[in-house]
Each structure stands twice: as C-alpha cells, then as structure tokens.
Amino acid sequence: MIKRIRFATRSSGVPLDAFSSAWRDAVAGAAQAPPGVRPSRVAVCIALPGPEDPRHDGIGIEWFAGAGHLRRYRDWLGTPDGHLLLHRADRVLDRDASPVVVADETVLRGADWLERRWRDGGEKLKHMAIALRASDLTLAEFSARWRGHAGQAGRGAQVTVIPDGARGRAYVQNHPSPRPVGEWAYDALNEVYFDDAQGLRARIEWFRANLPGNGGLFRKSWFIAAREEVLA
C-alpha cells in the first residue's frame, strides 16, 4: 500500500481544541472524493501531550492501492472540490511546518492485529518516530538497513533489543518513495500500536530511560505519541 502522510502543525493563535476538531474534519473530507479516486482508507492522528511539545500536532494518513490511484487523487485535489478540502485544513495549519510525505507501507509485525484494527475501526493509541537518515546514506541504503533494524535501538555501535512490554501489538515502517528531484521532509516514519495507555507509557518510559542512540542510521529523530481514529 502507498500512504500519503500529512504532518500537521497548527497556526499560532489556534487553540488545541479548535485545531483538533478542524483537523479531523479536514482529513475526513478525503472520503468525499469520487469513487475510484477517494483513498482506500483514511485515519487521523492527534498528538498527545508529553514532557516535550510534539514536533507536530496531528497527522493525516490516506492509503492508496497503487501509484495510479494516488495520481487520480492528486489530480482531484486540483479541482474546485479538492481546493475546498485543502482550504479547510489550511485555515488552522502552519503550511510551512506541515509537510506531506508519500511512502510505501511495510508491516513488519502484527499484521493480523492490524487487519482487525482496520475492520473494527474506532480509536487506538500509537507511538511514532519520524527521522532523517544519516548524511552518508542514500535513501535506498537507509531503507535497506532500517528494515533490518526493526525491534532494536542503537547506542553507537551497540544494539539493544526493545523488551516485549514496549514493543506494542503491531509495528509498521513507512519508507518514503524515491523522488526525481529534491528530498522529502523526513526519511522515515514508524508506527507502533497499543491496546491501552499502559502499553504506550511503557514504551515511552523505556525509550526515555535507555536514551538509545541512532545506530549509525539516523541524523535526527523525534517521537510523537498520538490517538488515531479511523475515519473511512
């Protein structure tokens, strides 16, 4: 599956409650696209408060069956109806701090759990990490090494296996698609799902206590804990 991922940062002066409501409605609007154009699935994430302000206040995720499906949707965004949808989001966003990334989804653990999650809908908690790759790696080299890094955290040359209590029910990597020109805002986004807040807290506390390094893969990274709702 291909994902179109919009990282949302609210404009200064927009209250968090007002942003959360408006952002949810804007992401849900993708389901108004015509048949054969609208995403296969739509979900919205709202960042949860933590000891540090999250890098983004929300994330919108749209799934597509292939490149042609995504292209049709992008074309639709250029129509008057698509412009209205984009305007709905722009009313509460800092556009310069709200990039879009197109990525290939790779489910590395918990595929059956995720299938039930999409079928049942509703809300779930998840822990995400977004990152920039190390400067000496191409995007292809980084993606290949990152796949083999799943379930581990590096501290310099040392590698630590993440304990079961902090691993969550499902683990997803999103690898940005190659671009003919330029770079995406991020080189990686992972998603780790939890049934309850206790599991989410266990992961956050483990990473905070262990302060894992980048293992030679990442130049910089940020964590976001969020509540995800399936909208369509």
Task: Tell me, yes or no, if the pTM score tops 0.95.
Answer: no
Question: What is the rounded CA–CA span in Å between residue 69 and residue 4?
Answer: 11
- pLDDT tens digits, residue range 85-95? 888 888 899 99
Indicate which CATH number applies to the domain containing 38: 3.30.70.100
- Residue 47 domain boundaries: 2-230
Comparing CA positions, the residue from 33, 54, 34 lying closest to residue 45 is 54
Query: How sure is the predictor about 41, in pLDDT bands with cuts at 50, 70 and 90?
Result: very high
Question: What is the rounded CA–CA span in Å between residue 143 and residue 104?
Answer: 11
Q: How many CB atoms lie within 10 A of CB 68?
A: 10
Comparing CA positions, the residue from 89, 72, 104 lying closest to residue 6 is 89
Q: Answer for the pair 117, 183: CB distance below 8 angstroms, yes or no.
A: no
Mean pLDDT, rounded, for 145-152: 73
Give the number of domains in the chain. 1
- pLDDT tens digits, residue range 98-117? 999 999 999 999 999 999 99
pLDDT over threshold 80, residue 211: no
